[in-house]
Amino acid sequence: MKTGSQVIIRPARNVRGSVQLPGDKSVSHRYAMLAGIAEGPSRLENYSTGADCASTLGCMRALGVTWERKENVVEVQGRDLALAVPNIPLDCGNSGSTMRMLSGIVAAQKFTSEMTGDESLSRRPMERVIRPLSAMGAQIASREGKPPLRITGAHLKAIDYKMPVASAQVKSCLLFAGLFAEGETRVEEPLRTRDHGEVALQAFGAQLERKGNEVRIRGGQRLRGIGARIPGDLSSAAFFLCAAALFPDSQLTIPNLLMNPNRARLLDILMQMGLRISVTQLDEIHGELVGSLQIDGARLKGATLAGADSAALIDEIPVLAAIAPYTEQGIEVRDARELRVKESDRIAAVATNLRLMGAQVEERDDGLRIPGGQTLRGAELDSFGDHRIAMAFAVAALRAQGETLIRGSEAAAISYPAFFSTLEDMTER
Ligand code: S3P
């Protein structure tokens, strides 16, 4: 990846057009992992173009999985649960999803794997997977609960686990491990998080039981490869939705977007704030809802995000916070402490950049309070090496007075390499 790139964003008058998004990152990771341990081939169309999902494919190759990629179609030859001894470390790059979810699969193999990551990933907490996987029988060495991880697989025993943090990555990790374990694994989460792991396991033929915030999976089940078109990434769409929300005359269409109800809370919140969104052509592919959106701009009211909403919107909060000063009443975010341990400390990054643009911001331990009705000025900002911070502030810059420079803009490629050129194409000046 290029390092040290920067972009300049000029103020805009409007956002208009149609944007077709690359496949959802959460779904792409899970499909690539499950395709690798399934029996037979899988064909994954519209696979995420982000570097994170390429990291997952790289790790699967190191584990003996053969795959071929032609543009955004990935064809994977499954290895029917048995992966090969990797003779290089599994390089997860910037991707917490890769490290956390894949650890559930390598913990069940008959060999030792080394999992590494970049500087940002090396600072992120892994004890949330180390503790339950160790209880299932794996041996895991880490640097005080942080990467690199050295995982010696075992014949796992099922676990009954109440997760202390709401994390879809941890839930998927344990369900993937449960697939290999002896007995029935039960995972309970404190708040409902995205269920792509459960939906993907079922798509590949596994049986699960889901009740409220609890999922059970029996060990010893085998998976079958699938042919799938991955729906467009909702968290990438968030940047365009929020950009459209800045201008009352915006008009945007987004076809083939992931509409999984556990991910689509952003649409409800933006509609409550005044954005007009209509959904057409609702469909279901391998258990995931897909729809096309028609969006018309508005004057945005404010919002308060707390509790289950903060968990459901965890990836969208940076961009919502970045546009908060332009709303009428502002935005308050509570119960979002997890933002401090993402690719960057996203609460601090948002507060720093907004202040550089002249905004008033109250930073709290678990969130932010950003008053509305503010006028921002263009400024020199940093991405903090975080893709969502780079993209969130490109959106905020569209309504600022004067130009904004964003350093470290190459970070956007972690989830969406074409972001800046697509935003430019959609912007009227
Ligand atoms: C993800 C879950 C969320 C999210 C991340 C992707 C997933 O993290 O922030 O970008 O695909 O399961 P946590 O599960 O750690 O909250």
Distance of CA 390 to the CA centre of its chain: 15
pTM: 0.98
Asked whether the beta carbons of 407 and 224 are under 8 A apart, the reply is no
User: What's the CA-to-centroid distance between 117 and ligand 1, angstroms?
Assistant: 16
| Identity at 245, one-letter amino acid code | A
Is 25 labelled a binding residue? yes
The whole-number pLDDT of residue 3 equals 60
Q: Judge if the beta carbon of residue 236 lies within 6 A of ligand 1.
A: no
Neighbouring residues of 286: CB distance < 8 A, sequence distance ≥ 6: 199, 200, 203, 226, 228
6-22+231-428 and 25-228: identical CATH topology: yes
Span from the CA of 274 to the centroid of ligand 1 (angstroms)? 27
- Does the annotation flag 167 for ligand binding? yes
CA dist 335 and 125 (Å) reads 18
Residue with CA at minimum distance from ligand 1 atom 3: 168
Q: Is the CB of 235 under 6 A from ligand 1?
A: no
Paired sense of beta strands 66-70 and 73-77, if any: antiparallel
The single residue listed with the structure tokens 């990054």 is 349
Q: Quick: pLDDT tens for 51-97.
A: 999 999 999 999 999 999 999 999 999 999 999 999 999 999 999 99
**Three-class secondary structure of residue 207 per DSSP:** coil
Whole-number pLDDT of residue 147: 98
DSSP classification of residue 182 = B
CATH of the domain spanning 25-228: 3.65.10.10
Report the mean per-residue pLDDT for the chain.
Answer: 97
Going from N- to C-terminal start, the domains of the chain cover: 6-22+231-428, 25-228
Phi/psi of residue 136, nearest 5 degrees: -80, -10
Q: Which of 194, 317, 335, 340 to mutate to test the pocket of ligand 1 (most atoms within 8 A of CB)?
A: 194
> Which pLDDT score is estimated for 4?
83
Is residue 251 within 8 A of residue 37, CB to CB? The reply is no
Round to whole Å and give the CA distance between 12 and 8. Answer: 12
Give the nearest ligand 1 atom to 165 CA: 16
List, by residue number, the catalytic residues.
315
CA distance 83 to 63: 6
Query: Which residue's C-alpha comes closest to atom 10 of ligand 1?
Result: 315
- pLDDT for 349-385, tens place per residue? 999 999 999 999 999 999 999 999 999 999 999 999 9
Cα 25 to averaged position of ligand 1 atoms, centre (Å): 10
238 exposed, middle or buried (CB, 10 Å; 0-12, 13-18, 19+)? buried
Cβ 339 under 6 angstroms from ligand 1: no
Pocket test for ligand 1, best of 169, 191, 386, 416 (most atoms within 8 A of CB): 169
Q: How far, in Å, from the CA of 100 to the mean position of ligand 1?
A: 10
Over 50: is that where the pLDDT of 413 sits?
yes
Binding site membership of 28 for ligand 1 (Cβ less than 6 Å): no
Ligand 1 touching residue 128 (CB < 6 A): no
CATH class of 6-22+231-428: alpha beta
Contact status, residue 252 vs residue 240, Cβ threshold 8 Å: yes
Tell me what percent of the residues of the chain surpass a pLDDT of 90: 98
